[in-house]
Amino acid sequence: MAAKSLATCIFCKIIKGEIPSYKLIETDTVFSFLDIGPLSKGHALVIPKYHAEKLHEVPDEYLTETLPIAKKIAIALGAENYNILQNNGRIAHQEVPHIHFHVIPKPSASDDEG
């Protein structure tokens, strides 16, 4: 399984450690880290180690671990309410052209107490 990267891609640079990130889980096919502009506490990104812009361009073997890792992160965060979000293309609000899954906790009002 040959990982594919693009020298100019910020997420490929994060995978290679050329740009710092707060890493959560890394496997042979997947890298996950905290989002730099979190929509809520714990907002994480899960990315295949294969440079492609959109979901349909990624070989299946680079996708199989993505949702199990998103699930692990959701469990680790203790998130009862959360969104898994994955945008494809600028019109669909994709800003970084390296496929990524967002894990976005949705804290309830009681999460702010104590």
- 84-99 per-residue burial string, b: 16 or more CB within 10 A, e: under 16: eeebeeeeeebeebbb
- Contact partner at residue 87 from ligand 5GP, Zn ion, none, CB < 5 to 8 Å by partner kind: ligand 5GP
**Is the CB of 11 or the CB of 31 nearer to Zn ion?**
11
- Contact partner at residue 51 from Zn ion, ligand 5GP, none, CB < 5 to 8 Å by partner kind: Zn ion
Decide if residue 58 touches Zn ion (CB under 5 A).
Answer: no
**Is the CB of 33 or the CB of 82 nearer to Zn ion?**
33
Whether residue 73 contacts residue 59, with contact meaning beta carbons closer than 8 Å, is answered with: no
Q: Give the closest residue to 99 by CA, choosing from 88, 111, 114, 112.
A: 88
CA 30 to chain centre: 9
- Contact partner at residue 12 from Zn ion, ligand 5GP, none, CB < 5 to 8 Å by partner kind: Zn ion
The residues binding ligand 5GP (CB under 6 A) are 10, 19, 21, 33-37, 87, 93-96
